Chains A and B, each alone.
Chain A
Amino acid sequence: MTVYESDLPGVGKKFEVEIGDDERLVIVIHNTGKREVFHRVGEADSEKLFDLSDRLARQVGSILEGAHFQPVKSDTTETMLDGDSLLEWVNVAEGSDIVGKTLDELDFRNETGASVVSIQRDDTTESNPGPETVIQAGDTLIILGPREACREVEGLAAEVDEPESAIESGVIDELADDDTDA
Chain B
Amino acid sequence: MAQVLLEAGLMFAVLALAGTLARRVGQSVIPFYVIAGILMSPYVLGTLDIGPIAGLTVADYALAAEEHITLLAELGIVFLLFFLGLEFSLDRLLASKEKIGKAGTLDLLVNLPLGVVVGLALGWSLLEAFVLGGIVYISSSAVITKSLIDLGWIANAEAEPMLGTLVYEDLFIAFYLAVVSAVLLGGGEFAEIAVNVGTAMVFLLVLVGAVYLGGEYFEQFLDVDSQELFVLRAVAITVFVAGFALAIGVSEAVAAFFIGMGFSSTDHLHDLEHRLIPLRDVFAAVFFFWIGLNTDPAVFPAVAGIIAVLVVVTTPSKLLSGFLSGRIYGLDDRRNVRVGCGMVTRGEFSLIIAAIASSAVGRGPILTEVVPAVAVGYVLVMSILGTMLMQYSGYLERFVVESEPSTAAAD
Chain A residues in the interface with B (C-beta under 8 A): 6-11, 14, 26, 28, 30-33, 36, 38, 40, 42-48
Contact = CB atoms under 8 A, between A and B. Distances in A.
B257 to A, nearest CB: 13
A44 B141 CA distance: 25
A7 to B, nearest CB: 5
Contacts of A43: 157, 332, 410-411
Given A32-B277, A40-B155, A8 B163 contact: yes
Given A14-B155, A26-B155, A44-B411, A6 B160 contact: yes
Interface centre among B87, B152, B154 (most CB of A within 10 A): B154
Given A9-B87, A38-B152, 12 more contacts: A7-B89, A8-B163, A9-B92, A10-B163, A11-B163, A31-B270, A32-B273, A32-B274, A36-B149, A38-B155, A40-B155, A46-B152
B167 interface: yes
* Dominant secondary structure of chain B at its interface with chain A: helix
Contact of B155 (A32, A33, A36): A36
Contacts, number: 62
Nearest to A38: B155
Contacts of B274: 31-33
A11 B145 contact: yes
Interface residues of B, number: 27
B290 interface: no
Contacts of A6: 160
A175 to B, nearest CB: 32
Interface in B136-192: 141-142, 145, 148-149, 152, 154-157, 159-160, 163, 166-167
B79 interface: no
A33 to B, nearest CB: 8
Interface of B: 83, 87-89, 92, 141-142, 145, 148-149, 152, 154-157, 159-160, 163, 166-167, 270, 273-274, 277, 332, 410-411
A159 B167 CA distance: 63
B410 A48 contact: no
Given A31-B273, A43-B411, A46-B152, A8 B141 contact: no
Contacts of A44: 411
Given A8-B163, A9-B166, A48 B152 contact: yes
B332 A8 contact: no
Contacts of B145: 10-11
A44 B408 CA distance: 10
B149 A11 contact: yes
Contacts of A42: 410
B165 to A, nearest CB: 11
A171 B187 CA distance: 84
B97 to A, nearest CB: 14
The 6 closest A-B pairs by CB, nearest first: A46-B155, A38-B155, A26-B155, A10-B145, A31-B273, A10-B87
